[in-house]
Structure 1
Amino acid sequence: MNVVVLYGRLTRDPELKYSQGGVANCFATVAVDRGMTKEKRQEAEAAGRPTADFISIKAFGKTAELLANYFRKGNRVALEGRIQTGSYEKNDERVYTTDVIVNRLHFVESAKENGGGNVGSFAPMNGQAGYYEVNEKDVPF
């Protein structure tokens, strides 16, 4: 069984492209903490060793559009997917790749928690608490 669950932060804004057939493709990288104790983390940082893994992710179709439209660099994200490996030739050398293909995305923080506005545009309308202007294209379903 090939199942991956990741919880981390996006290291860059997701990059959305469309194939010639019109299918959305989105690429990003997620920094996932290695879960070290405080002492082990301090040792690793002092020695210049990494304390997180940077994992390349790919999403397609509606999932790709959701990722590109509602998530930005620094946002926390939880995702489910599968590992996919591949290779290609570059300058007469074989380059091997490992990516996580995203099946499901989960919002981990609200716009208010991440500084406002980065997850959709759900800002109070005319300063009235409880009323929010929502653009239909901001709704993921």
Structure 2
Amino acid sequence: MNTVQLVGRLTKEIDLRYTTSGVAVGNFTLAVNRNFTNEKGEREADFIQCVIWRKQAENLANFTRKGSQIGVEGRIQTRNFENQQGQKVYVTEVVVNQFHLLEPKEVTEKRPRETQTNTGNNQGFVGQNQSNMGQTPQYNWNEPDYMKLEGQPLNIEEDDLPF
């Protein structure tokens, strides 16, 4: 059984991008508080990488902002690839099947919206903004920003997609 349920806060806006075939994919980090405090009495958190696909990715990006409290349900996925230095890199992330908004719309709307800027070499994706909403961008799926490995191709076959 591979089931994950998390409640936490978004560390930044959802990084919404599209594959070459127009499939939406959102990457985000969820800060999840631990149930205990450390020796200093401080509460620690785990920062968990998540990915969400298709219409749910677009909805999550549209209805949340940095700091929004959400619940997610999904599964843990691990994958690996070889980087430019020939080293095998492992990635573990939660593939989200469902999300739940856990704060009122009014609270979310009071949060300032971060501006999406494409920094670094992230050809292959585009941040979601007003200028490209409703359009299917023509980009190559080859250098995902969330992996922080510029120039590393990511080969995803139809069989790898969670739907």
- Assess if the C-alpha contact under 8 Å between 2:65 and 2:111 holds in 1: no
Unaligned ranges ≥5, structure 2: 114-132, 134-163
After TM superposition, the runs of 4+ consecutive aligned structure 1 residues lying more than 4 A away are none
- Assess if the C-alpha contact under 8 Å between 1:79 and 1:103 holds in 2: yes
* 1:74-112 CA-partner distances (Å, limit 9, x unpaired): 000101000000111112111111000010010100122
Q: Which residue of 1 aligns with 2:38?
A: 41
| Structure-to-structure mapping, 1:26-37, within 5 angstroms | 26-36=26-36
- Between the aligned partners of 2:109 and 2:8, the Cα distance in structure 1 is 17
State yes or no: 1:62 paired with 2:55: yes
Report the alpha carbon displacement of residue 115 of structure 1 after superposing the two structures with TM: 5.6
Identity fraction in percent: 41
TM-score (norm 1): 0.72
Q: Aligned pairs, how many?
A: 113
TM-score (norm 2): 0.63
Q: Which residue of 2 aligns with 1:94?
A: 88
State yes or no: 1:85 paired with 2:78: yes
Higher helix share: 1
- Between the aligned partners of 1:63 and 1:107, the Cα distance in structure 2 is 12
- Between the aligned partners of 2:110 and 2:41, the Cα distance in structure 1 is 33
Q: Which has the larger radius of gyration?
A: 1
Report the alpha carbon displacement of residue 42 of structure 1 after superposing the two structures with TM: 5.2
The residue type equivalent to 1:31 in the other structure is A
Q: CA RMSD in A?
A: 2.2
- Between the aligned partners of 1:70 and 1:115, the Cα distance in structure 2 is 9
State the secondary structure of the residue aligned to 1:5.
strand
State yes or no: 1:20 paired with 2:20: yes
Report the alpha carbon displacement of residue 72 of structure 1 after superposing the two structures with TM: 1.1
State the secondary structure of the residue aligned to 1:79.
strand
